[in-house]
Amino acid sequence: MNSYSSLASWSDALTTRAVSAVEAVDYFSDRITKINPQLNAYITTDIDRARSAAADIDRQRVAGESLSNIAGIPFGVKDVIDTSGIRATGAAAILDNFEPTFDSTVIARLKNAGALVIGKHNCDAFGHGSSNEHSMYGAVKNPWDVSRVPGGSSGGSGAAVAADLCSFAIAEDTGGSVRAPASFCGVSGLKVSYGRNSRYGSMPMASSLDSIGPIAQTAEDIAIILQHIAGHDPLDATSAIAALPDYRTEIQKSVAGLKIGVPEEYFSAHLQPQIRAVVENALHTFEELGASLVPISLPHTSYAIATYYILVPCEDSSNLARLDGIRYGVRQKAADLYHTYTASRTQGFPDEVKRRIMLGTFALSYGYYDAYYLKAQRVRTLIRRDFDEAFNKVDVIMGPSAPGIAFKLGANASDPLQMYLEDAYVVPASLAGICALSVPCGFVDGMPVGLQIMGPRLKEELPLRFGHHYQLATSWHTTHPAL
């Protein structure tokens, strides 16, 4: 197989037996051995088990059994998502020894279809971060320039797909964690609508926003994966009971005649001019494909960061309360219970996680709840309404995925607020619970730029359709880093 083959090409090659599943595992295993030391994209690999599952798939195929279109495809998983028998650290020392006894629903569905877990991807601890520098297993490097961040929090997943260290990745997006690394690493990533995919078996970050979605080489690959993982799960009460379209058929439909909303707030002074030029060029491609651009306004966009960074730490702090060194995870034994808690949490969490716990606990405390949490919930409703109104007029909304290109490692290290501002264009869709795809749309200073395509809730087929036609018309997604 050629390097950087799409999942669709791997699928064809496996189906026609041009390549075996064992060969597929060996291909990615060799690349991980050669390239991962530069990038640090994996926390754990599980090659032996993947190879033995691959041998089973190969036997079934030779025996003529009917197999799914992803049988034998190796993939990686963000380390906040549970995989039976493979440790899941959440990139925090407190879970260094945690080995889940079951698969999260999304992983179980992929494994049932014959896909092979080859390892767990590095990330910001528990998904808290925008650069993958807040991992207790070391920062991940961007494959395009190892002095730069890969984006976060799913930086290991973005870097692994961009460097061809797995065919695709399953990651989590609460406030941009799939889209930001996809954008910084030059690959495609889908944040699904709230409720589209089961979150059972993923470590909760902010439960009212968390979503599980794929990062892959192309929008078409994402459509293939989504077909396997999406849909209601009785084990997740927030998963939507809604029919699934045939994604691969839907994305073939032309985009001619469809309307693209272009929000003025996404092209404000905050956006670097070179990024603006690249994104405007992408919008122009859609005009050539027959879609029309409609200027719109999402008036509450400027409140999104403040709203997100109140609500999310509140939910973070309550969700993290369970990690105390008593029930599971690494326990720092101390003289009494109180000091066992404090020592386990002090040593088990990185600074950003501690910051979230302090912010969230403060904002939820008596006397402050109304001023912060309640007010932020109200603004969240206004942000959601902005999108509802816009989608009455347009089919999708487009803008940049990030205000700039991947920044240098350490550039925002001493300024958490500056780091939070990196999320300006990704958190509104998260607060609104809608879906959003990031696809590569050009380069600035040799680094990839992402185009964000947002769609109405549970209408993933629309952003994927635009993304697919964009990738049929352009070749940004087929340009790869020299490694």
Query: Smaller CB distance to ligand GLN: residue 126 or 286?
Result: 126
Query: Smaller CB distance to ligand GLN: residue 223 or 427?
Result: 427
Query: Smaller CB distance to ligand GLN: residue 204 or 261?
Result: 204
Confirm or reject binding of residue 157 to ligand GLN (CB under 6 A). no
Cβ-contact 157, 413 below 8 angstroms = no
Confirm or reject binding of residue 130 to ligand GLN (CB under 6 A). yes
Gap between the Cα atoms of 232 and 218, Å rounded: 25
Closest contact distance (angstroms) between CB of 136 and ligand GLN is 15
Closest contact distance (angstroms) between CB of 173 and ligand GLN is 5
Confirm or reject binding of residue 173 to ligand GLN (CB under 6 A). yes
Confirm or reject binding of residue 88 to ligand GLN (CB under 6 A). no
Confirm or reject binding of residue 176 to ligand GLN (CB under 6 A). yes
Confirm or reject binding of residue 177 to ligand GLN (CB under 6 A). yes
Gap between the Cα atoms of 44 and 92, Å rounded: 13
Query: Smaller CB distance to ligand GLN: residue 152 or 261?
Result: 152
Query: Smaller CB distance to ligand GLN: residue 87 or 355?
Result: 355
Active site residues: 78, 153, 177
Q: Which stretch binds ligand GLN (CB under 6 A): 9-17, 114-122, 127-135, 384-392?
A: 127-135
Confirm or reject binding of residue 90 to ligand GLN (CB under 6 A). no
**Single-letter residue type at 337:** L
Q: Which stretch binds ligand GLN (CB under 6 A): 12-20, 36-44, 122-130, 369-377?
A: 122-130
Query: Smaller CB distance to ligand GLN: residue 175 or 399?
Result: 175
Confirm or reject binding of residue 412 to ligand GLN (CB under 6 A). no
Closest contact distance (angstroms) between CB of 415 and ligand GLN is 14
Task: With CA atoms as reference, report the closest residue to 291 among 395, 218, 388.
Answer: 395
Query: Smaller CB distance to ligand GLN: residue 165 or 205?
Result: 205
Confirm or reject binding of residue 153 to ligand GLN (CB under 6 A). yes
Confirm or reject binding of residue 142 to ligand GLN (CB under 6 A). no
Closest contact distance (angstroms) between CB of 177 and ligand GLN is 3
Cβ-contact 315, 206 below 8 angstroms = yes
Q: What are phi and psi of 337, to 5 degrees?
A: -60, -45
Q: Which stretch binds ligand GLN (CB under 6 A): 166-174, 235-243, 367-375, 473-481?
A: 166-174
Cβ-contact 167, 73 below 8 angstroms = yes
Contact with ligand GLN (CB under 6 A) among 51, 128, 196, 477: 128
Confirm or reject binding of residue 167 to ligand GLN (CB under 6 A). no
Contact with ligand GLN (CB under 6 A) among 72, 74, 76, 129: 129
Size of the site for ligand GLN (CB under 6 A): 14
Confirm or reject binding of residue 423 to ligand GLN (CB under 6 A). yes
Cβ-contact 131, 149 below 8 angstroms = yes
Closest contact distance (angstroms) between CB of 453 and ligand GLN is 18
Residues 300-329 that bind ligand GLN (CB under 6 A): 312
Confirm or reject binding of residue 450 to ligand GLN (CB under 6 A). no
Confirm or reject binding of residue 175 to ligand GLN (CB under 6 A). yes
CA 112 to chain centre: 22
Cβ-contact 262, 395 below 8 angstroms = no
Closest contact distance (angstroms) between CB of 174 and ligand GLN is 4
Residues 192-221 that bind ligand GLN (CB under 6 A): 205
The two structure tokens encoding residue 448: 């990839």
Closest contact distance (angstroms) between CB of 64 and ligand GLN is 43
Q: Which stretch binds ligand GLN (CB under 6 A): 168-176, 339-347, 389-397, 409-417?
A: 168-176
Confirm or reject binding of residue 236 to ligand GLN (CB under 6 A). no
Query: What is the binding site for ligand GLN (CB under 6 A)?
Result: 127-130, 153, 172-177, 205, 312, 423
